[in-house]
């Protein structure tokens, strides 16, 4: 009987803990007003806890949680053990995370570099403070001093429901953009700490909704939007019909599942119909047509994006990425090219080869996936595309460097290719290009404010605040240089900025893809030869 009572009381405590945590991380709808656009962003005076109520919704679908391999009933009974076990596993597996926890000297160089801190003034959004949430647990449970003398001795944190709620809040106010790492003298990458924290939160049953619904759709159906194969075929046929009608070229195509094509082209599924994304799809098709290169898209690999990256879950990332590898193998293509998507590019260029071994049946001149900007710039440089730049004369164009490209990996095998190649394409198709201020572009670029799982409507307050540095930089370029179009190569940035521009009083038509500009300038018809 005594044992039964103990069990009942333990169960009661667990239920209480779960209920407390659910209450603490309850989704609260908050709408934030945009600030006035002055052309400059200010580093704010701190306002402690100003954004503590802003957190994403939890995933509650039991079927989806089961499919993804997560606990299905919220916080699990033995959450403290599982939390520490998962953290231990991460520290052993990813030595960089352990190193980042060990070597911070609190120099403060990163404190004012995060767009979410600049926007919200909440001190926990300073990168060093965000990382400190994990560091305090690390010091308490993973150092001998913490183990022996407890949290006070090492300025650590004991695990508690309140701490979990703070983790869930602030590790979902980080877009893993890595800007802070550029300014840290030790190269500490808070994005990696955020990813690790999200993995730990998932393991104890706190699973964010927006991102995991997308991961589930990408794994079970094949794309982030959950479009079935016939819907993909219909959407792409519609794009092809539109292209044939508007260009009056009957043989321009958007090929699907063509075995033996030279190129497998993968892109985010948003490109199939979202605006302004679809304009770039028209541009890609025109480039392939005019270059005379056989290409195909795939219903099996109908998604370029890979949200597995955002939750530090290589299992998810690998499963999603594998479709691209399988499609390339099954369609017997010679090269793989990726469209305009920041994190797709990072996964394709940085992780594909190590996840699946080399794509060694590909043409040896293109042994790894290429970016569409590399492909297009090469054609432009060789004079293989006929271009009428005046078609874009209504625009003074600037470029938003998407973080996952800018701070991901070089492009085209050249140093700084990720900055110069996209700009080379823009300059190749437009007469007027102006950069935004130097401290907001290239390796120091600011996130659009919605990366890495924060694009859902539940995070709108964070999105509005996190967009401030980019909006101020754009408004500066607009006022001082007459800029009226921002070109991007990231599907999430396109979605975020085309919502933020009108929020800040700028027309959404001023946001678009680089290949939207290419599509406007390319002169179809007589081939120049490649
Ligand atoms: S990775 Fe980006 S969003 Fe996260 S703390 Fe650093 S600057 Fe902020
Ligand atoms: S810049 Fe680096 S070392 Fe300095 S406080 Fe930030 S994370 Fe720590
Ligand atoms: S959404 Fe775009 S700007 Fe934001 S983190 Fe991702 S790539 Fe960077």
| Per-block mean pLDDT, blocks of 10 residues, the chain (530 long) | 49 77 90 93 96 95 96 95 98 95 97 98 98 98 97 97 97 97 97 96 96 93 91 96 95 96 96 94 97 96 90 85 92 96 88 78 87 97 96 98 91 93 98 98 97 93 97 98 97 97 97 98 74
**Residue in 493, 484, 392 with CA at minimum distance from that of residue 115:** 493
- Which pairs count as long-range contacts for 95-103, CB under 8 Å and 24+ apart, including other chains? 96/189, 96/192, 97/192, 97/193, 97/196, 100/131, 100/188, 100/189, 100/190, 100/192, 100/193, 101/131, 101/134, 101/135, 101/138, 101/193, 103/186, 103/188
pLDDT computed for residue 1 by the predictor: 37
Pull the structure tokens for residue 529.
């030869």
Which atom of ligand 1 lies nearest, measured to the CA of 126? 5
The pTM is what? 0.94
**466 in ligand 1 pocket by Cβ < 6 Å?**
no
Residue nearest to atom 2 of ligand 1 (CA): 177
Is residue 331 within 8 A of residue 259, CB to CB? The reply is yes
Residue 178 Cα to ligand 3 middle (Å) = 10
CA 105 to ligand 2 centroid distance, Å: 6
Pocket flag, ligand 3, residue 440 (CB < 6 Å): no
Q: Strand, coil or helix: what is 450?
A: coil
8 A C-beta contact, residue 389 and residue 429: yes
Contact 224, 305 (CB under 8 A): yes
Taking each helix axis as running N to C, give the angle between helix 468-481 and helix 491-503, from 0 to 180 degrees, rounded to the nearest 10.
70
Cβ of 177 less than 6 Å from ligand 3? yes
CA dist., res. 475 & res. 482, Å (int)? 9
Is any atom of ligand 3 closer than 6 Å to the C-beta of 462?
no
For Cα atoms 34, 124, 135, give the angle at the middle one, nearest 5 degrees.
150
Q: What is the gyration radius of the CA atoms in the chain, in angstroms?
A: 24
End-to-end CA distance of the chain: 84
- The dihedrals phi and psi of 374, each to the nearest 5 degrees, come to -60, -45
Provide the pLDDT for residue 14.
66
Can you give the pLDDT at residue 526?
64
């Amino acid at each position: 009987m005594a044992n039964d009572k103990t069990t009942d009381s333990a169960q009661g405590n667990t239920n209480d803990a779960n209920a407390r945590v659910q209450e603490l991380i309850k989704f609260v709808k908050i709408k934030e007003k945009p600030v006035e656009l002055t052309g400059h962003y200010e580093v704010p005076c701190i306002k402690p806890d100003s954004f503590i109520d802003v957190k994403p919704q939890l995933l509650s679908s039991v079927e989806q949680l089961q499919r993804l391999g997560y606990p299905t009933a919220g916080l699990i009974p033995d959450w403290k053990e599982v939390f520490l076990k998962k953290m231990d596993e991460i520290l052993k597996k990813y030595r960089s995370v352990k190193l980042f926890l060990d070597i911070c000297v609190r120099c403060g160089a990163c404190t004012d570099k995060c767009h979410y801190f600049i926007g919200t003034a909440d001190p926990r959004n300073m990168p060093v403070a965000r990382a400190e949430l994990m560091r305090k647990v690390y010091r308490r449970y993973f150092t001998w001093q913490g183990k022996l003398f407890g949290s006070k001795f090492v300025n650590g944190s004991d695990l508690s429901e309140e701490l979990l709620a703070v983790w869930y809040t602030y590790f979902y106010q980080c877009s893993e953009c890595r800007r802070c790492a550029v300014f840290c003298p030790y190269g500490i990458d808070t994005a990696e700490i955020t990813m690790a924290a999200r993995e730990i939160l998932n393991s104890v049953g706190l699973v964010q909704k927006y991102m995991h619904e997308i991961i589930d759709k990408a794994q079970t159906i094949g794309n982030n939007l959950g479009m079935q194969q016939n819907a993909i075929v219909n959407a792409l046929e519609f794009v092809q019909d539109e292209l044939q009608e508007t260009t009056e070229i009957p043989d321009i195509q958007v090929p699907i599942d063509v075995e033996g094509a030279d190129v497998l082209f993968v892109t985010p599924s948003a490109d199939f119909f979202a605006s302004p994304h679809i304009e770039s799809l028209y541009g890609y098709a025109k480039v392939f047509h005019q270059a005379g290169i056989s290409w195909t898209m795939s219903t099996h690999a109908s998604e370029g994006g890979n949200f597995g990256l955002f939750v530090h879950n290589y299992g998810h990332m690998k499963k999603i990425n594998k479709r691209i590898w399988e499609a390339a193998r099954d369609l017997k293509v010679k090269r793989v090219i990726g469209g305009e998507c920041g994190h797709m590019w990072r996964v394709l260029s940085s992780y594909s080869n190590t996840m699946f071994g080399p794509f060694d049946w590909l043409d040896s001149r293109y042994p790894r996936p290429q970016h569409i900007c590399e492909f297009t710039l090469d054609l432009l440089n060789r004079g293989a595309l006929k271009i009428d730049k005046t078609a874009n004369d209504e625009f003074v164009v600037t470029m938003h460097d998407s973080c996952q490209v800018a701070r991901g990996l070089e492009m085209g095998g050249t140093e700084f290719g990720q900055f110069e190649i996209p700009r080379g394409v823009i300059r190749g198709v437009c007469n007027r290009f102006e950069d935004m201020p130097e401290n907001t572009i290239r390796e120091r670029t600011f996130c659009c404010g919605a990366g890495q799982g924060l694009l859902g409507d539940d995070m709108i307050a964070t999105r509005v605040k996190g967009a401030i540095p980019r909006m101020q930089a754009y408004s500066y370029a607009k006022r001082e240089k007459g800029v009226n179009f921002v070109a991007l190569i990231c599907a999430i940035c396109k979605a975020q900025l085309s919502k933020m521009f009108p929020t800040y009083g700028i027309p959404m038509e001023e946001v678009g893809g680089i290949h939207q500009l290419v599509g406007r300038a390319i002169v179809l018809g007589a081939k120049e030869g490649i």
